[in-house]
Structure 1
Amino acid sequence: MDTFRSFFESISVFSLEELPFVVIALVLAFTVHEFAHAYVAYKFGDTTAKDQGRLTLNPVQHLDPFGTILILIAGFGWARPVPVMRSRFKNPRLAGILVSAAGPLSNFLIAFIAFGLFYFFVGVTGGGIPPFVIDLLQMIVELNILLFVFNLLPFPPLDGYRIIEDLSPPNVRVKMSQFEQYGILLFLILVITPLDQYTIWPFLNTGMSATGQAFSTIYGTIFSIFN
């Protein structure tokens, strides 16, 4: 067991004790994220995701095996992208923005709900529940806030880039399409090299800290009203 622990922790950014919580949190986060994309696309008239069995909360339909394993090892991974046909949208520009935003917002909502439960159990009741529940809620909050902020980065193929693309005038969108492949290459370089410590992670840390502080302020205010 010690040999396995040493091997796992030598290749993973997570400890062996964290692994069950990470897996549950990731399955929840990825599944709801991709379902949200599929659901909003369907509501705007694109049935592509539904036709391919992606309008579901079944994790099997959304998880990418390699992307999931990679995030456990490197802290960076992905789920299976939801297929979208913009030509089917009733209002392509608005629909494009909302479909792209739906994924990160779903992670924001999960984190917000889990933070509320965490705040209630720890800050209001003073505990009294199994420690593993607290650990799980904390992991759900942290990973979903991370995915919320990460997916808003303005790099292809992330949702933040797609939102900017749909907000841009047609001539700008044409230019963005022409250089998108270079944007993807730049993004990969920033993510998989030490440059991420000076570019992506400062943004992520700031965004995660601000989001967590906002949650704390909101729930602190809510619970203080009823005390």
Structure 2
Amino acid sequence: MGLISLLTSNPTAFIIIALALVLSLAVHEFAHAYTADRLGDPTPRRYGRVTLNPIAHLDPFGTLLLLIAGFGFAKPVPVNPNNLGRWGTLWVAAAGPISNLLIAVLCAALLKVFPPTTITLTILLTVMSINVILAVFNLIPIPLLDGSRILGALVPPMGRALAQFEAQPFSFLIVMAFIFLARGPIGSIIQAVQGWVLNVVGV
């Protein structure tokens, strides 16, 4: 179910989830861009991506898909692997999911600090859940996701094969179909990671 259905049924939930998604995606892409920039690749800065401004990172089709289907994406950060090398590419790919995990842990920690009001719990748990979902999804080692870049850096022959698959015309549809079919196991992993995040801070 997409976010758009919440506009009439629960406008408050729509605003919280929409803002949490937009900001979390912006931080994710900024983490990629900032890491690449710090490691010597000027490409993200050239395209104006070393910023936390969500407008620089939102993809029109990905945003529309999010509103309609409940699953979307931001614009990938352009990088030049030749400027980064094998391990630089790995760290750039990992930076996005790591940023989401850090936000999730921060939200869990804040649950112990702020008064347990309904709105506080709703906001913090929503932001935490969204960032866990982003981290888990992006770490799946399949094309178009950060996990494939990490795997490619660790196992270069596999990286070349994944890159060839990603260049195929229908790779996006195949990846989306895989995620849909594997939503059960992925959901279980997400729940396990959410439990781990809460346990880390003792909530």
TM-score by length of 2: 0.87
Amino acid at match of 2:190: M
Structure number with greater Rg is 1
Following superposition, the deviation at residue 175 of structure 1 comes to 3.1
Specify the alignment match of 1:109 in structure 2: 102
Give 1:120's aligned residue: 113
1:155 aligns with 2:142: yes
Shift of 1:174: 3.2
Runs of 4+ more than 4 Å apart = none
Task: Please state if 1:74 is matched with 2:69.
Answer: yes
Identity of paired residues, percent?
Answer: 39
Q: Does 1:9 align with 2:5?
A: yes
**Residues 146 and 204 in structure 1, CA contact (< 8 A), matched pair in contact too:** no
Secondary structure of 1:133's counterpart equals: helix
Partner secondary structure for residue 160 of structure 1: helix
Question: In structure 1, what is the Cα distance between the partners aligned to 2:83 and 2:22?
Answer: 29
Structure 1 residues 203-212 or 77-86, which shifts more?
A: 203-212
Number of paired residues? 198
In structure 2, list runs of 5 or more residues that go unmatched: none
Contact kept, 8 Å, 1:155 with 1:184, in 2: the verdict is no
Within the candidate set 44, 47, 59, 2:42 is matched to 47
Give the match for residue 209 of structure 1: 191
Contact 2:7 2:14 in 1 (8 A): no
CA, structure 1 residues 190+175, in 2 after alignment: closer, same or farther (shift >3 Å)?
closer
Distance change >3 Å, CA 172–CA 207, structure 1 → 2: closer
Q: How big is the shift at 1:10?
A: 8.4
Shift of 1:142: 0.9
Partner Cα distance (2:10, 2:195) in 1: 26
Distance 2:24 2:64 in 1: 15
Change (3 A) 1:212 1:10: closer
- The letter for the 2-side match of 1:165 is G
Alpha-carbon contact 1:11-1:73 (below 8 Å) kept: no
User: Cα RMSD between the aligned structures?
Assistant: 2.3
Contact 2:143 2:163 in 1 (8 A): no
The answer on whether the counterparts of 2:44 and 2:77 sit within 8 Å (CA) in structure 1 is: yes
2:164 maps to amino acid: Q
1:96 aligns with one of 89, 109, 127: 89
